[in-house]
Chains A and B, each alone.
Chain A
Amino acid sequence: SQTIHQWPATLVQPVGSPLSLECTVEGTSNPNLYWYRQAAGRGLQLLFYSVGIGQISSEVPQNLSASRPQDRQFILSSKKLLLSDSGFYLCAWSGHSWSNSPLHFGNGTRLTVT
């Protein structure tokens, strides 16, 4: 069966520090991968999605970047965090090019920028 791992679960970082959140998927190949951000009590904002290695689509211009160095690995990064980057970050995967395939989510990372 397929599983998705996302870490760390919680992170507290000072303003101006770098960020690296990692997500890996097991049990499937060539998945679509997604990064979402959820502000407190709000909906999910799509940040990036990837349909293959090295292929990244950015939805919102911001202080963050994403990379996909391997088929089942998706990384969210920042060189210098801002206070506004605080939030709950969710990684997800879905079947490639199968529009009826739902997203399967990781457990999320709660990021607090101080």
Chain B
Amino acid sequence: AQTVTQSQPEMSVQEAETVTLSCTYDTSESDYYLFWYKQPPSRQMILVIRQEAYKQQNATENRFSVNFQKAAKSFSLKISDSQLGDAAMYFCAYRANNDMRFGAGTRLTVKP
């Protein structure tokens, strides 16, 4: 069974600094997709960034970028120039076909 592991229950970053959130996954599939979601206190799930496993180039969305290491089954999220509004729970997710699995989440605190 596919599993997604986020080993950092909590992280903190100073405003304007950079922080990296870790994610590893286990799968026997060769074709799959990876996502990072943000869940602010409102509990709305917001898609941050996605990565196709067949692409070697790391995805980037403004201040958010990923470091995708397929052989190591690692998919970390880097947030640059952190802002107070980035404070939230962040979930790493894996999808193959109709199956979508989430990690346990990392709570990110941004200090002013």
Contacts and interface: CB of A to CB of B under 8 A. Distances in A.
Contacts of B32: 99
Nearest to A59: B99
A104 B45 CA distance: 8
Main secondary structure of the interface of B (DSSP, over half): strand
Interface in B73-112: 91, 93, 95-105, 107
Contact of A46 (B31, B45, B47, B100): B100
B62 interface: no
B31 A88 contact: no
Interface size class of B (residues with CB under 8 A): 20 to 34
30 contacts: A34-B100, A42-B104, A43-B6, A43-B91, A43-B102, A43-B105, A44-B91, A44-B102, A46-B99, A46-B100, A46-B101, A49-B99, A51-B98, A57-B98, A88-B43, A90-B45, A92-B45, A97-B97, A97-B98, A99-B32, A100-B33, A100-B50, A100-B52, A103-B35, A103-B93, A103-B100, A104-B47, A105-B44, A107-B44, A108-B43
